[in-house]
Every structure is written in structure tokens, then in C-alpha cells.
Structure 1
Amino acid sequence: MTFTTRAYVEEVDREAVLALRRVCTTPENVVDYPSLTDLHEFLNPVRREQHTHIRLWEDSKGRLLAYANVALPSSSFSFLIHPMAWETSIPAEIIAYATAVRAASGADGEERELGTNCRDSDEQRLCYLLQAGFELEEGEVPVMVRTLADEIPEPEPPVGYKLRHIVGEEEVEACVALHRAAFGTQNMTVEQRLSIMREPDYDPRGDLVIEAPDGALVSYCICLVHPEENAQSGRNWGYTDPIGVHPDYQRRGLGKAVLLGGLRYLKARDVDTASFMTSSDNAAMLGLGTAAGFHRFYAYHWLSKRG
């Protein structure tokens, strides 16, 4: 098989990458990163500045065989490989490309690790990464699930606090500020939040916030249902993440209230199972989920590569 590699072209390659994800999809890997939903968000033109390090591999007829991206400055690495391309040199070329991008980004002398994740049952991907020099990190990202067959209690935010869905894109800056405060990070941007709000399955009624008496947004939960992914997996799932609470307003029951609001929204959408993911060291989120009836279903591991 002969193939060529080139950079991603805005407004030209997006649909081909989405089609490649569909070809690569199995019932088990539907939500593995990058999922169809992840790509709808990430490839939105509003985030074009993050597309610099996307690389594509095509056969002699121009059919897309592989996709890779290195997100900087984190050096997190994602990829898709067409099932018929695993036995070619493309998998090795993808690793070489990602390693080169990572190395070039460390021109300031700071050593950066190339990182990616892997579902705990994906033996092909895990073997590929380990053979390429990646090492498993401690901890995991558990996928938590609970049935929605039972009655969901009415949310009870504190007196004076209001549970509602966001009004629209005019609240995007407030949503970004809340996310950054809740998670202690600058990673969320206006462009990233807009890409979530412009994803095909996004429903503003599931984009929940709790408003404090002074009008500030202090807790949130983004709830989504993805019909195409559910059809691919044979499941009927909805998602309640991320969930965040501003640090100045924690321990007031706001996380529980917004989560219950999300569960009631998903149940009204006729979803039978709710799910969220979090880090294994996020004791607060795991505790909140367990108290709300969630349990671990499977997990993702993080792998990193130096040099």
C-alpha cells in the first residue's frame, strides 16, 4: 500500500476525519478519545488555532487512512488509524511525527512528555503504545455509570440559589470563568466552550448552572445525549460531565443539586443510563457520584513517553 502524509486543511478535511472515526468505531470504542463528539468539538473552525499540529495520511486515491494530533503545550497525543492500515508503516510514522512535534516544542529547554490514554480493555492500542516506548502512569480515569430507571429526587439548592440552564452564548465568558475557578486551570477557553455549545447534539436545556443570590454562576453540569454514538454502541447513555463548583461555594450541596438536575434532564430525554468520567484522585467527584448511585464500569489509563 502506498500513501502520503500532509497537514490538515481547514474547511476541506473535517468531514473526512469524521468519516474515518466512523470507520474506526466499534461498540467498545465509541467514546474513546477522540470520539465523534470530541472531533465535532475540536475541529470546529472556532478552534482553528489548535489545528496546527494535525497530520493526515492518505492512500494513492486520496482516502484518509490515519489522523494524528499533538496538543501543545501539554503534548497530549491523539490518533485514529484505519483498520486496514495497522499493518503498514503508518503506526510507526505517527509515533515518529508526534515525538518530533513534542521535541520541537521543547526548544526552551523544558523536557515535555508525550502523553495519551488507552481504555483498559483495548489490547491492540495498549500493545502499540508500550512497544513504542510509552509507559503506564499511576492512577486511572474511571467511567462511572448509574441506571435512570429509579425515581430521581428533586434538586434542592440552598435558599436563594437558582438551578437553571444557561441562556445562550452570551453567557460563555461567565461559564469559562466558572470552569477555570472550579478546576484551578486556565485550559478552558472561550473558543473551546463555544465549540461545545455548537456541537450537533448540544441542547442548552442540558447545560445547567446554579446561580447565587448575587447572580454569579457558582456550579455547573453539562449534560449531553449523542444519538449516533448510542446507535453505534447499542447503548442508551447520557452524560453528566463535567461537573464543577466554584471553590468559594463548596460544601453547600451545590454539586449534588446540579447533578440531580442533570439526571432528571437525562431521564426526561428517555436515557436509561447516566455516565461521567473523572480522575481516580478526584475523591470529591467520586464521592458525589457514589452517593448518587454511580459505580465504576471500566477505566482509561494514561501513558507517557520521554525522549
Structure 2
Amino acid sequence: MKLSPPLPTPHSPLPTLWRPYRGEADLPAIADLLNTCEAVDRLEEWTSVDKLRVDLNEPDLDQSRDLRLWEDVSGTLIGFAQMWIPEPDEIQDGFLYFRVLPAARNQGLETEMLTWGAALVRQLGQERGVPAKLRSGANDTSSDRIAFLEGNGFQAVRHFYRMERSLTLPIPAPKLPSGFILRLVNGANEAQAWVDLFNQSFVDHWNHHELKLDDHLYWLNAPTYQPELDLVAIAPDGTLAAFCYSEINPEYNQRTGRKLGHVHLLGTRRGFRRMGLGRAILLESLHRFKAAGMETARLGVDTQNPSGARRLYESIGFSPVKTGIAFEKLV
């Protein structure tokens, strides 16, 4: 009779082997890993092969540099990590997203992932002659993740709310200043103008990095893009003054049993704030969600947002349902 090797104790090193991302063939295993984690962590972050295919092919992602997978001795995927590395300004920063199969946690793999992310961003900082900073995140209920990051020298620097609003409650009609109109974005024909609008709307926000035209065109052509939920507010002189892009994810809703619409991006250009444009374009998006049969709207907000977004959302009926924490450390 052949005996199975003993399982590692919770604090013993786990024999693992890291490898680079191999493209399309890896997507089902990554999706299974992330959804297995989600079933335990309950962060409402279900994914799919189709979504991963879009996310992992965006132009700024260097697949050979920014993705890493870990397998156990049997070849089973037990860990996945991704770095998001923006162009540097005064500092080179990078955001580390990492997930470990629940049965493989607390056995050294998380530390290996942090070490990899820190080494990568440090190397880039040295090449570009700027300081380097590694960022990561945790839900405020994820006590193990928080303790792990703090134990490795990370400090909490920002809090973000995930907020929701019932669409069964009355939704006020949008009201625009005289001469302004709301309409759908004119696709790629307005791509550069929309990128300028985005960058001028978020230039004073925490950890803002300039959006590039190629990145925006990629998302406009992605199969997940929903042009019927891509709204802009137009000033009397034709300037794009505010925007709101939302999505309805049928696969996510089927998996979770919800009828949810997600407001991904909402912003107002400098010079057009305090005019009610953000409120009007958000309300129009809620009406579109309801017309599509949705029951709940969701969005996210920096709790220290300098433009008063949190107060706007609360005034329309949104309430916090989850809190995320951004952590960082100099490396």
C-alpha cells in the first residue's frame, strides 16, 4: 500500500515552483483558483475566463514581467500574482495583486509573492533613477491579510468604500445646467477627447496616473464594452465636461443571483465642477440600470476624495457595504 506524504503544517514551508504566464492555456486554471478563493473570502470578486482574457491582454501589461504563477509538486496551480506598474513620475510604484489557494495559505507562498513584487519594482526604480514603492490592498474584514501586510512593513494609507443603492427606490430625474446635454460617447471618434477629459477630471486624485490613448482604445474594442452605458455631459461650447461609464455583467449576476449594475468611472472636468453634472449623469446611469431590469447599483469611492464624491453618492442614496484598504511600503 502506497502512503501519501504528510500534509505540511500551517507554518511549514510549502514545496512550490513558480513559473511565468503561458497565455490562453492558463486562463481556466487561474479562473478556478480565483473563484475558489472567492468562495472562502467572499469579496464579491467572481471572475471568468472571458474576463481574464480581456484583463490580461491590456496594452500596459507585460505578461512575461508582470504575471507569475505558483504550482505545487503535482502541478496544481495554488498561487497567482499580478503587478500593475504605471509610468513613473517622482517615484516608481507598483501594485501587487495576489491570491493563494485557501489550503496553501500561511506556508510561505505569500511572502514569496511579496518578495517578487518588491524586487521587481525596486529594479525598475533603480533603472529609472527614482525611489520605489510597493502597494497592495486588503478588505477591512480580512484580518489575516492585514496582519500579513503590516507584519511585512506595509502601512495603511487610504480607505475606499464599495457603495450600493437599491434601484427599487425612486430615482430622481437628472437636471442639467442650461445649455448642457447628456449623450452617449461617439466611440473611437471621441477617444482622444475622452482621454483628455478623464485625465483632467482625475489629475488631483490620489495615485492618479495619466491614461493613454492606446489603453482607452483597447477597452473600447473589448467584448465587455457596453456603449449604451458610456455617457458624457456636453457643455454649450461642445466641451466634454463630465463622464460616467457603467457595466452590467450578466455572467457575474447569474453566478451571484443578483441584478447588479456597476458604475466603474465617474468624473467631472476641472472648471465644470459644482454645477450638478456629476449628479445628473449618475442619475441617468441609474435610470438606465433600472430600465435594463437591474435591482442594485454599485460604485466605489476614495473616502478622502477631494471633489466631494462620497457626499454626492450618499445624497443620492448610496451606502457603504465594504471597505478596502490600500497599503504601501518603500522598497
TM range (shorter): 0.7 to 0.9
Matched, 1:295 2:328: no
Q: 1:254 aligns with which of 274, 277, 283?
A: 277
Contact 1:47 1:191 in 2 (8 A): no
Alpha-carbon shift at residue 231 of structure 1 (Å): 3.9
Letter in 1 for 2:77: L
**Matched pairs, number:** 304
CA distance in 2, matches of 1:81, 1:98: 15
The aligned residue for residue 173 of structure 2 is 154
Q: 2:131 aligns with which of 111, 115, 119?
A: 111
Query: What does residue range 1-307 of structure 1 map to in structure 2 within 5 Å?
Result: 2-26=15-39, 28-31=42-45, 39-49=52-62, 52-72=65-85, 73-107=92-126, 108-137=128-157, 139-184=158-203, 185-283=208-306, 284-307=308-331
- Cα offsets for 1:89-116 (capped at 9, x unmatched): 3222111111211221221553322111
TM-score (norm 2): 0.82
CA distance in 1, matches of 2:33, 2:218: 20
- Cα offsets for 1:136-161 (capped at 9, x unmatched): 22x41111221111232222222332
CA distance in 2, matches of 1:150, 1:23: 34
Letter in 2 for 1:281: Q
CA distance in 1, matches of 2:64, 2:190: 25
Alpha-carbon shift at residue 16 of structure 1 (Å): 3.5
CA distance in 1, matches of 2:53, 2:219: 9
CA distance in 2, matches of 1:190, 1:9: 27
Greater Cα radius of gyration, structure 1 or 2: 2
Identity %: 28
TM-score (norm 1): 0.88
CA distance in 2, matches of 1:300, 1:45: 24
Please list every run of 5 or more consecutive structure 1 residues that lacks an aligned counterpart in the other structure.
none
- Quickly say closer, same or farther: Cα 1:194–1:213, change in 2 above 3 A: same
CA distance in 1, matches of 2:31, 2:219: 16
- Quickly say closer, same or farther: Cα 1:238–1:40, change in 2 above 3 A: farther
Please list every run of 5 or more consecutive structure 2 residues that lacks an aligned counterpart in the other structure.
1-13, 86-91
SS where residue 172 of structure 2 aligns?
A: coil
- Quickly say closer, same or farther: Cα 1:64–1:41, change in 2 above 3 A: same
- Cα offsets for 1:153-201 (capped at 9, x unmatched): 2222223322112232333222211100101154322343244434544
Letter in 2 for 1:293: G
- Quickly say closer, same or farther: Cα 1:140–1:186, change in 2 above 3 A: closer
CA distance in 1, matches of 2:261, 2:180: 26
Alpha-carbon shift at residue 6 of structure 1 (Å): 1.8
Contact 1:41 1:195 in 2 (8 A): no
Which deviates further from its counterpart, 232-241 or 251-260? 232-241
CA distance in 2, matches of 1:202, 1:21: 22
